[in-house]
Structure 1
Amino acid sequence: MPQGGGSAPSRPVALHSEDDRVLPFAVEALDLRGRVVRLGPTVDSILSHYAYPPQVARLLGEAVALAALLGSILESHGRFQLQTRSDGPVDMLVVDYDAPGKLRGFARFDAERVAQIRDASPAALFGRGHLALTIEREEDAARYQGVVPLEGESLAEAAHIYFRQSEQIPSFVRLAVAEIVTPQGASWRAGGLLLQYLPPGGARARDLPPGDAPDGAEEPSEDDSDHWTEGQALAATLEDHELVDPALSSERLLYRLFHERGVKVFTERALEEFCRCSNERIDKLLRSFSPQERSDMIGDDGRIGVTCEFCGTLRSFNPADFD
């Protein structure tokens, strides 16, 4: 499996998974492009900031993996945000991706409603609502947003709807999250695959053979629709456990899927958890409130406490500092 990217030299295929990486790839014979993400310590840290019920943690883990797949299209600058709003027990998910590879996320949920449901499917947890995907590019201050409904779909299915309606790109998305238990303890892992059909001239519908073709005439040769059908069929053989297996590298995984057609990988990108919150940011935010509003925020200890929704960090401020 050669390494792509111009004249970069080939290297041996990695045997074991390297956590917290996005690996772009191409199956040129089928005009396919895609990315694989494998998350270990980064997603485990994000899911451990709060005492999420397991079904909520899995949902947030899928959102983090999907945000990494979609946000990694931004090369070095810019911001991508995935957000859901719905009427289900998990009424909001937010994941931010800051290029080139910084992630943070949290889930807001009703603990009583989550405890009452027996169905841990995304449909039961989300209810009805929408998924919003937002891209902010720093170089030209442009902002793009796509919104698709959440009506019983998983995040992967909602992403399919987004690509079909907004981008009109044939796409396949697979997400997986699991809690791995070892002698050292339990930790969360997540993975995802994004596969897209991007022929040079754009996707074309398959031509039907003419009804008045002479007997013995050859049917049209393999075309675009055949390529995408084959690509989907190969990707559909992927199992959830393969995406979260720490003993299986992304390169070996891609080889399993596409070795018959040949697959090329490019330079991978490292991912890490990073929160934008800071004392300076919160200080500036508090100064934007009126004295009366700040007075209403003072707790029993006589200080203003602010907890970051993303990382769970509690910061305490003296109200007198703002006078």
Structure 2
Amino acid sequence: MALNLDELGITPAGLDAVRPFAVEGLDVRGRAVALGPVLEKILDRHAYPEPVSRLLAEAIVLTSLLGTSLKFDGRFTLQTQTKGPVSMLVVDFKSPDAIRACATFDAAEVAALMADGKATQEALLGHGHLAMTIDQGMHMQRYQGLVELDGVSLEEVARRYFERSEQIPTEVRLGVGELFTRQEGEGHVKTWTAGGILIQFLPEAPERMRQADIDPGNAPEGTSPHEIDEDDAWVEAKVLVETVKDVELTDPEVSVEMLLFRLFHERGVRLFEPQPLVDKCSCSREKIENVLAGFSDDDVDHMTVDGKIIVTCEFCSTSYEFDGKPGQ
């Protein structure tokens, strides 16, 4: 069944925009995103090894889906801390649309995994934890949820987070790809593309959302696991999303509206206004001046080289130069 958006009066969200949606027949709400230039700018700026860029791209997709759900002016931050070769990923979303990201990794360990053909997402992350932090501003309490990273993918980590912290049945699919286009005089040029879809089961009757108790890990031998039959509507929605292929999430020719129509046209899908994303850092000379002003003179002396202090933002790579400690 072909989808003609013009006939339906729908303007495609396009790249770098999150499209909220609802499938009311299944009591499901969700968000879908396709990333292009914003992702390319972030990854090109850092020039990380390919597996690190791919991993960070998935984290950016996940943060885009979650951060744009904020109903207030605030900040959503996804951060991993592990003992793996990629020891830290940080993706920061500031409402309504600004996103930035960076990674910390051991170049030798990543190169060794790449040489052995073992640079999988699970191997790069290793064991540690992932934190999702919601900051509503200086006069509001900050909320943070933690979930263990134990050799699983970011998709699985997201599922666990919502199951354990939010107790909301959630399914998520993330995809990252490389697009090769031929440009005159430059040969084939590689660009990054990515996409994702997240759905949550939110029926009016809360008892329909019941989930089995989490295995405590120390139950007596022979204890039967706690099981609860999943709601039929949620099973249907989850199975549909599980059919989504990476190519459908990363092909610029497949809009999020086309994907949602393929998945849910029999049940009917309601689209809401898309929320654009921009590559924008929140660093500034004034903010860095305030940080430096709080350092001791001894700390400042150790940072000073040839009479100057140079601070480079890890997110956007902008460098700020100061002639000594600000305010002196």
Could you state the TM-score of these two structures normalised by the residue count of structure 1?
0.88
Distance 1:138 1:289, change over 3 A: closer
1:51 Cα deviation after fit: 2.1
Aligned to 1:271: 277
Q: Partner of 2:50 in structure 1?
A: 54
Aligned to 1:316: 321
Instruction: Name the CA distance, whole Å, in 2 between partners of 1:274 and 1:202.
Output: 39
1:1-323 aligned within 5 A: 11-14=8-11, 18-117=14-113, 118-138=117-137, 141-184=140-183, 185-204=189-208, 225-299=231-305, 301-319=306-324, 322-323=327-328
2:186 counterpart residue number: none
Unpaired stretches in structure 1, ≥5 consecutive residues? 4-9, 207-222
* Correspondence for 2:220: none
Query: Percent identity among equivalent residues?
Result: 48
**Displacement of 1:40 after TM fit?**
0.8
- Residue number in structure 2 paired with 1:212: none
Residue identity matched to 2:132? L
Q: Deviations over 1:114-172 (max 9, x none)?
A: 00013121110011000000111239613111100000111110000001111111110
Task: Report the Cα distance in structure 1 between the residues aligned to 2:138 and 2:207, rounded to whole angstroms.
Answer: 30
CA contact (8 A) 2:201 2:209 kept: no
Q: CA 1:144–1:268 in structure 2 vs 1: closer, same or farther (change >3 Å)?
A: same
8 Å contact 1:67–1:96 — kept in the other structure?
yes
Conserved in 1, the CA contact under 8 Å of 2:155 and 2:172?
yes
Q: In 2, Cα distance between the equivalents of 1:141 and 1:205?
A: 29
| Distance across 1 between alignment mates of 2:243 and 2:179 | 22
The separation in 2 between residues aligned to 1:320 and 1:238, in whole angstroms, is: 54
Once the 2 structures are TM-superposed, how far is the Cα of residue 249 of structure 1 from its aligned partner? 1.2
Tell me the amino acid that sits aligned with residue 146 of structure 1: G
CA shift, 1:224, in A, is 6.9
Partner deviation per Cα, 1:187-223 (whole Å, 9 max, x = no partner)? 11111110111101124279xxxxxxxxxxxxxxxx9
Partner of 2:267: helix, strand, or coil? Answer: coil
Partner SS, residue 204 of structure 1: helix
Give how far 1:12 is off. Answer: 2.3
Quick one: which amino acid aligns to residue 256 of structure 1? R
**Distance in structure 2 (CA, Å) of the matches to 1:139 and 1:319:** 30
**Aligned-pair distance for 1:298?**
1.4
d(CA) in 1 for partners of 2:121, 2:255: 28
Secondary structure of the 2:9 match is coil
Instruction: Mark the CA change 1:307 to 1:257 in structure 2 (over 3 Å): closer, same or farther.
Output: same
Q: Tell me the secondary structure at the aligned position of residue 75 of structure 1.
A: coil
Judged with a 3 Å threshold, the aligned counterparts in structure 2 of structure 1 residues 138 and 293 are, in CA distance, closer, same or farther, namely closer
Whole-angstrom CA distance in 2 between matches of 1:205 and 1:302: 62
Q: Aligned with 1:256: secondary structure?
A: helix
Tell me if the contact between 1:77 and 1:139 (Cα under 8 Å) persists in the aligned partners.
no
Alignment size in residue pairs: 299
Offset at residue 321 of structure 1 (A): 5.2
State the match for 1:214 in structure 2.
none
Moved over 3 A (4+): none
Q: Which amino acid is 1:41 matched to?
A: P
Query: How big is the shift at 1:317?
Result: 1.1
1:293, distance to aligned residue in structure 2 (A): 1.3
| Closer, same or farther: CA 139–322 of 1 in aligned 2, 3 Å | closer
| Distance in 2, Cα, partners of 1:225 & 1:314 | 53
In structure 1, what residue type is equivalent to 2:308? R
For the residues of structure 2 that align with 1:49 and 1:269, how far apart are their CA atoms?
Answer: 24
Deviations 1:249-283 (A, max 9, x none): 11111001111111110011011011111111111
